[in-house]
Amino acid sequence: MSPEFLPFTRPSIDEPTIAGVAEVLRSGWITTGPQAKAFEAALSEHCGGRPVRAFVSGTITMEVALRLAGVGPGDEVITTPLSWVATANVVLEVGARPVFVDVDPKTRNIDLSLIETTKNTKAIIPVDLAGLPVDRERLYSIAKAKNLRVIEDAAQAFGASWRGKPIGSFGDLVSFSFHANKNITTAEGGALVLPDEKLVALCEKLRFQGITRTGEDGMDCDVLGGKANLTDIAARIGLGQLPHLKRFTERRRALAKRYFQLWDRSLGCELPVEEFENSNWHMFQVVLPAKFPRARFIAAMREAGIGVGVHYPAMHLFSLYRSLGWREGQFPHAERIGRSIVTLPLFPSMKDEDVGRVCDAARKVLAA
């Protein structure tokens, strides 16, 4: 009998959360309401009391953050080419231009030493790939010296920390994602941490059609907003997830350590940085040997009953970004990693023996 298929990720939703969602459905109030407010309050507590607003995705949070930072047409925003394409798409959405900087080959995060600015540079969007935080001291030192706003793409870093402080509890604008594959989930959703209470009103207007309500029937629209409010159904899932964050993170770290113990180092793969203080181990990613076709590896692992993800191809090589002038050869580290990186199974409900199964299967595939 073949073993059960092992996906690269799977959310852990407990029965009390499922029951809680059912209660919301029965309540008659399923859009944004008391559950969303409670979720925002809980997120704020996690982020050291800073104001937090919940949204329908971790993409719209970055777009709103850029607008709050005053980024628009004619501006440039520095970011990494090794991320989900949303990181750069939101820059285009506000009329600005993304400017890519190559990654550090070890951390796979943006190489801060390569940052150069122009008179048009307005902001930087660092990405904490796989939950490994970008060096926050260096990041904010550069931002201060260059007078840049920082929009932290911490989509993968909820539960991560920097020198003992949770990501989101300090810094400028911080964007989280609660997509189904994240360390905690609302099925779909995100949150934006604000640096100042003064931004809350505009943030809320940008989230909901630019509307301000007054009194019993007063209504005005003074800015162009969108429709990105989180439902109470989604928020209730998030409220059920938050109490498990510490346990989820500890389990992910334990599984990552097991990968390091069992992985065959003779296979010629590049392993991630062994870091267990700051990273939340959102993903365990290896870079395959350059001559081994990634598609072949993915197919062979699927045949063995194991799911493998790709996070991410270098986005400047997508057609949209080529049309804006980016080309192959500009960011060699991101391009090499993007061609060969694979995401192996890692989620809290995995068993220790599942890691051994993945490592054994990978050894057989790569040695074939």
Mean pLDDT computed over every residue of the chain? 98
Q: Give the model's pLDDT for residue 1.
A: 60
For residues 248-255, average pLDDT? 98
1-41 pLDDT, tens digit each = 678 999 999 999 999 999 999 999 999 999 999 999 999 99
| Pair of tokens at residue 363 | 């050894």
309-342 pLDDT, tens digit each = 999 999 999 999 999 999 999 999 999 999 999 9
Catalytic residues: 182
For residues 270-287, average pLDDT? 98
Q: Any idea what the Cα angle at residue 194 is, between residues 73 and 112, rounded to 5°?
A: 65
102-138 pLDDT, tens digit each = 999 999 999 999 999 999 999 999 999 999 999 999 9
Q: Would you say 286 and 264 are in contact if contact means Cβ atoms under 8 Å apart? A: no
- Number of Cβ within 10 Å of residue 144's Cβ equals 10
What is the pairing mode between strands 173-177 and 190-193?
antiparallel
| Residues forming a β-bridge with 309 | 343
For residues 269-297, average pLDDT? 98
180-221 pLDDT, tens digit each = 999 999 999 999 999 999 999 999 999 999 999 999 999 999
Report whether pLDDT(280) > 80: yes
Percent of the chain beyond pLDDT 70?
100
Q: Please, what is the end-to-end C-alpha distance for the chain in angstroms?
A: 24
Q: Give the model's pLDDT for residue 298.
A: 98
Q: Give the model's pLDDT for residue 368.
A: 86
d(CA 138, CA 295): 37
Q: Would you say 126 and 100 are in contact if contact means Cβ atoms under 8 Å apart? A: no
56-80 pLDDT, tens digit each = 999 999 999 999 999 999 999 999 9
Report whether pLDDT(281) > 80: yes
Q: Give the model's pLDDT for residue 315.
A: 98
- Could you tell me the pTM of the whole model? 0.97
